Amino acid sequence: MALPAMNTILYTTSLGKHTRPVFRHAVNLANQFNAKIVMLHVVEPIGELGHALIQNYLDEDLVKKMHDEGINAIKDQMRERVAAFCEDELASLPTPVELNIEHVVIEGNHTDSILREANIISADMIVIGSENTFGHHSHTSQQVVKSAKVPVLVVPTGKKFA
């Protein structure tokens, strides 16, 4: 039986301050398997009340422009984090590491969006952090492990691990 191919890794990020260990594992796997990393950040959509309030006070074109600028700002933040990681952790390695990273921002339920994106990109593995903002085990990571059709690497993200 042949070993499974590892061409695409879905790395999910909250862009929190303790997510670097998760990214470190995604980069290590991608480097070992010469795989592409799809870096995914999921944004909860604005609720119905918030949407109704915005529609009453702002022009639809302005709302779309603000939305698009917000998504682009998140992608810029993702690129900046990758650049800082490369400078801090990869620049001193004896052999250069070439990263192939695509930045994706999706609006929706975290679990559903992660699983849907893994399916869309034909991910061979999902790499996700294990803790939420409050330091408790993440409901999202638990649900992704339970429902994913590909292997899931769950990385501790607590302060002690970082």
Residue 47 forms part of a structural domain: yes
- Residue 109 DSSP label: -
pLDDT tens per residue across span 121-144? 999 999 999 876 555 567 899 999
Provide CB contacts within 8 A for 99, sequence distance 6+: 27, 30, 31, 37, 82, 86
Res 132: pLDDT: 60
Res 72: pLDDT: 93
Res 31: pLDDT: 93
Domain CATH for 64: 3.40.50.620
pLDDT tens per residue across span 49-99? 776 777 777 777 887 888 889 889 999 999 999 999 988 888 877 788 889
Model pTM score: 0.86
pLDDT tens per residue across span 100-113? 999 999 999 999 99
Count how many domains the chain has.
1
Res 26: pLDDT: 96
Find the mean pLDDT for residues 30-45: 93
Long-range pairs for 45-48: beta carbons < 8 A, 24 or more residues apart: 45/107, 45/108
**Of the ranges 2-11, 20-29, 75-84, 90-99, which one carries the lowest mean pLDDT score?**
90-99
8-12 β-sheet, strand order? 101-107, 36-43, 8-12, 125-129, 152-155
Residue 73 forms part of a structural domain: yes
Residue 65 forms part of a structural domain: yes
Residue 160 forms part of a structural domain: no
Res 161: pLDDT: 54
Residue 70 vs residues 44, 64, 107, 115: alpha-carbon distances, Å: 13, 10, 12, 23
Contact 25, 12 (CB under 8 A): no
Residue 37 forms part of a structural domain: yes
Provide CB contacts within 8 A for 119, sequence distance 6+: 149
Domain interval for residue 66: 8-155
